[in-house]
């Protein structure tokens, strides 16, 4: 992801390559299930947005010098990306097809090509990482933007509420 648009899209939809920010540089990512290991601001954001949710997977990622936490919760409780300062970048909620706008649902069905959908999520994008003058900063959106992601047995697709495919891949 070398261009700013790809970086923004990747962060906004929680699809970035994990990079280590811990001492475990050789492994490429840091994983922990211990909520106590989260910075206070990140822990507070999790509690405010997913009270009682249990962390299943935690990746600490770095994009353009910005550290954020990619958190997946147990038992279909969704996911969220939180910047080190506690700013929520996005929150993904597991949903059903009946909860998807018709244009997005049609695009998902077309992309599925008859394959069953393993999981469907609505991602509420609240902030983006923006690169300006060689430095990155967090830019909060005035209103959330939504993205729908369908995961298939082989691949996934991300679409806008209007049905525009943002990403399709294996």
Tens place of pLDDT per residue across the chain (170 aa): 333 333 333 333 333 323 223 323 223 344 444 555 799 999 999 999 999 999 999 999 998 889 999 999 998 899 999 999 999 999 999 999 999 999 999 999 999 988 899 999 999 999 999 988 888 899 999 999 999 999 998 889 999 999 999 998 76
CB 45 within 8 A of CB 88: yes
In the three-class reduction of DSSP (H, G, I as helix; E, B as strand; rest coil), residue 111 is classed as helix
Domain count, the chain: 1
Place of tokens 């992309």: 111
For 100, the domain range is 4-169
CATH of the domain at 105: 3.10.450
pTM of the model: 0.75
């Amino acid at each position: 992801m070398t261009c700013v648009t790809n970086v923004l899209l990747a962060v906004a939809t929680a699809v970035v390559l994990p990079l280590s920010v811990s001492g475990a540089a050789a492994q490429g990512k840091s994983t922990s299930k211990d909520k106590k290991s989260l910075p206070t601001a990140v822990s507070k954001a999790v509690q405010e947005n997913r009270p009682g949710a249990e962390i299943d997977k935690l990746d600490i990622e770095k994009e353009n010098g910005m550290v954020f936490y990619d958190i997946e919760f147990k038992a279909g409780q969704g996911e969220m990306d939180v910047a080190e300062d506690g700013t929520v970048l996005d929150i993904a909620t597991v949903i059903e097809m009946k909860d998807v706008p018709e244009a997005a649902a049609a695009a998902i069905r077309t992309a599925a090509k008859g394959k069953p959908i393993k999981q469907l999520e609505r991602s509420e994008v609240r902030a983006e990482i923006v690169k300006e003058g060689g430095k990155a900063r967090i830019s909060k959106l005035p209103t959330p933007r939504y993205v729908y992601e369908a995961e298939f047995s082989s691949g996934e697709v991300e679409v806008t509420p209007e049905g525009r495919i943002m990403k399709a891949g294996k």
